[in-house]
Structure 1
């Protein structure tokens, strides 16, 4: 699922949302492994409908627990996990939830942003901007 057409011009398509990016990548990784939605959803402990909504971008990226079960079920490499985690973190940061992300998550984002072959420059700059805004607005503070 690509971004939505925002005008009457067919070439005018908005960039995909973090939900859509996550879903597209999850679907591609699942398909590359010859895995069905039914089998993956059973192994990850979620319904087929839930998985379908994640893959189509109708739902946000899953909770960390479900994310971990999906990753383990698919047997992803570290690089693939980082690629899949990026839109999930982008979604959280865009909603101003960075204070919920542990330090390790922020370090993962920073690491992925430094690996130019994982994402393109446009994505890296957008995510870096979101991360910087979030941190400037006190996103690095911890609840006492």
Structure 2
């Protein structure tokens, strides 16, 4: 699904017309129309964030559809050379496999947190 198509669907689900949504996020409604029809590229990350808030949408989903990398993810990727290498390794994994890895990472973080808590006692 394209960004504009998803945006239109979310807007309809909220029962908003283009002018109402545009007013809520402080953009011109003709600009919004062009985004929804694919005549304009997706907007900036800040505008996408506002759209997600107003529409009650998942910010990460909209950013991915817009071809944008969330700022907090950019920070993670640039922490060490291992982070981009890891992402390259997992690029072809399916949703279930990625969820397994996410859960494993969560377990590791929790275990590390428990260890550092017991070390300080």
1:88-99 aligned within 5 A: 88-89=66-67
2:9 aligned residue (28, 32, 46): 28
Report deviation, 1:69.
1.3
Please report the TM-score for the alignment, with normalisation by the length of structure 1: 0.48
Structure 2, unpaired ranges of 5+: 77-86, 97-121
Compare CA radii of gyration and give the structure with the larger one.
2
* Equivalent in the alignment of 2:95: 116
Q: Quote the Cα distance in structure 2 between the aligned partners of 1:85 and 1:25.
A: 11
SS across alignment from 2:16 = coil
* SS in structure 1 of the partner of residue 66 of structure 2: helix
Q: 1:106 to 1:26 in 2, by over 3 A?
A: farther
Distance in 1 (CA, whole Å) between partners of 2:94 and 2:62 is 14
Give me the CA root mean square deviation. 3.2
Q: Which runs of 4+ in 1 moved over 6 A?
A: none
Conserved? CA contact 2:4–2:42, under 8 Å:
yes
Structure with a larger share of its residues in helix:
2
Number of equivalent positions: 84
Question: Partner of 2:64 in structure 1?
Answer: 86
- 2:85 is equivalent to residue 104 of structure 1: no
Q: Does 1:67 align with 2:67?
A: no
Q: In the aligned structure 2, how far is the partner of 1:41 from the partner of 1:115?
A: 36
User: CA offset at residue 66 of structure 1?
Assistant: 1.0
Q: 2:49, 2:59 within 8 Å by CA — same for their partners in 1?
A: no
Q: How far apart, in 2, do the equivalents of 1:106 and 1:114 lie?
A: 22
Gapped regions of structure 1 (runs ≥ 5): 1-15, 93-97, 118-144
**Is the 2:48–2:59 contact (alpha carbons within 8 Å) kept by the matching residues of 1?**
no
Q: Residues 105 and 75 from structure 1, CA distance in 2 versus in 1: closer, same or farther, beyond 3 angstroms?
A: farther
